Chain A
């Protein structure tokens, strides 16, 4: 019961902060909408797509990129959480969290899941707008995608936490944009299917195939159409374990980040 109280306390703080930062919500929503309304509309005529699972027929490019844009929201949200962790560490807020008597892995995990809940709200808001843009997955898909969103959000949030533990100053965060977010997003299946990548470059295809973000996107894509992609699920779970395990190590009082400072 006390553990639940801690989790609910951390989650409600994240949600309260989110509701107090309306501009953050709109920024998170506008980014994928710009891609959907402008980029996808422009490239629809240029980029032909063959029938690739989970789709059973030819789909418009807008339909194809929506799961990738859901992943994009979660990727940015994970990095936003990472940014706020660095900021919290520079102020006293992070210390206040870590001096709670509860285990550090549980505190970090609660903060992670709380951040994912915020990103899931943003994804559903985006899917609602996309519905009006004629991107309409099966009605049950909106439900079946929830676990996929939670899992992919936790993986990306874990990566964000891990990155936050390696960044010493807020100013270094611009590097995260250049070296993590952009390569992860563009070298993935968010915008193009893998077979198109192979046509362009076998090396790029291999990079995309190994990119954990590709697997997060495919997990979301399949779940949205009521299917399960087992390889994507395994990769997402495995990467989550690695990223979160490394984060707990870095925040461990006996080793890692704080001890070096």
Chain B
């Protein structure tokens, strides 16, 4: 069973098509990249996978659960790091994580908080206000937040955007390391450097999937060729 299966998904905003017949899957435990330029439809696709709204047509399954028919089961297995900040800057890291644990019905989250903060290397910042964390630390805290309910799939929408090279590497290393614990990741990006040759990559352009295969060694040239043709 795939961690995520997207089948023939199309979506329109009024008359404007945003996604057309998008199909791909994310294997269990894999790090899959979703590559596309700004406006390709990555954020729309994430909104559909997280059921912020329903697609015009098609089907999305998370860990075998249909997001439209079994939203509770599907969302319980999904962790999300959105493109825009979701931490409450006036609250401490602990308070932020407790809040997000509560949103998943977890009554006593302290042991989980300790564990996910250790995973992202922020155990020493537990009592710090989110406002005092650096950009890279805030991103790692967002990953900890998304992992607090032990999801089987993590969606990350341009999670390294705006970070310096070192912080970007740290965040990528954490997310890649999740595969060993059975957590799959779908990493949306427009930065080629964030994708390794062995990573499965889904190339999204103008709302369509142009390719779904291992990235290979010449991804940049191939991407430019495909998108110029498309």
> Residues on A close to B: CB < 8 A?
1-3, 5-6, 8-10, 12-13, 16-17, 20-21, 90-93, 95-103, 107, 253-254, 258-261
Provide the B48-72 mask, 1 if CB < 8 A to any CB of A, else 0. 0011111000000000000000011
Given A5-B102, A17-B91, A260-B14, check contact A96 B86 (CB 8 Å): yes
Quick check: is B103 within 8 A (CB to CB) of the other chain?
Answer: yes
CB distance from A167 to the nearest CB of B (A): 17
Quick check: is B76 within 8 A (CB to CB) of the other chain?
Answer: yes
Q: Is the CB of B52 within 8 A of A95?
A: yes
CA distance A2 to B101 in the complex (A): 11
Q: Is the CB of B85 within 8 A of A16?
A: no
CA distance A101 to B13 in the complex (A): 25
Q: Is the CB of A101 within 8 A of B72?
A: yes
9 contacts between A and B (CB under 8 A): A3-B105, A6-B104, A8-B102, A92-B82, A98-B52, A101-B71, A253-B54, A259-B53, A261-B13
CA distance A247 to B117 in the complex (A): 36
Q: Is the CB of B82 within 8 A of A95?
A: yes
Residues of A near B53 (CB, < 8 A) are: 253-254, 258-259
Given A17-B91, A261-B13, check contact A102 B72 (CB 8 Å): yes
Number of interface residues of B (CB under 8 A): 36
Given A17-B90, A96-B100, check contact A2 B80 (CB 8 Å): no
Q: Is the CB of A92 within 8 A of B84?
A: yes
> Residues on B close to A: CB < 8 A?
13-14, 47, 50-54, 71-76, 78, 80, 82-86, 88, 90-91, 95, 98-107, 145
CB distance from A94 to the nearest CB of B (A): 9
Residue from the list A9, A10, A17, A261 in contact with B88, Cβ < 8 A: A17
Residues of A near B95 (CB, < 8 A) are: 13, 16
Given A99-B75, A253-B51, A259-B54, check contact A93 B88 (CB 8 Å): yes
Which residue on chain A has the smallest CB distance to residue B129? A20
Residues of A near B101 (CB, < 8 A) are: 9
Residues of B near A10 (CB, < 8 A) are: 99, 102-103
Given A8-B102, A92-B84, check contact A99 B14 (CB 8 Å): no
Total number of residue pairs linking A and B with CB closer than 8 Å:
101
CA distance A95 to B81 in the complex (A): 10
CA distance A14 to B72 in the complex (A): 24
Q: Is the CB of B52 within 8 A of A99?
A: yes
CA distance A254 to B50 in the complex (A): 13
CA distance A107 to B52 in the complex (A): 13
CA distance A5 to B86 in the complex (A): 20
Residues of A near B76 (CB, < 8 A) are: 101
Q: Which of A12, A99, A100, A102 is most buried by chain B, counting CB atoms within 10 A of its CB?
A: A99
Given A16-B91, A20-B90, check contact A5 B105 (CB 8 Å): yes
Residue from the list B78, B85, B103 in contact with A9, Cβ < 8 A: B103
Q: Is the CB of A95 within 8 A of B90?
A: no
Return the 8 tightest CB-CB contacts between A and B, nearest first: A9-B102, A2-B105, A92-B86, A92-B82, A101-B75, A100-B103, A258-B53, A92-B84
Which residue on chain A has the smallest CB distance to residue B86? A92
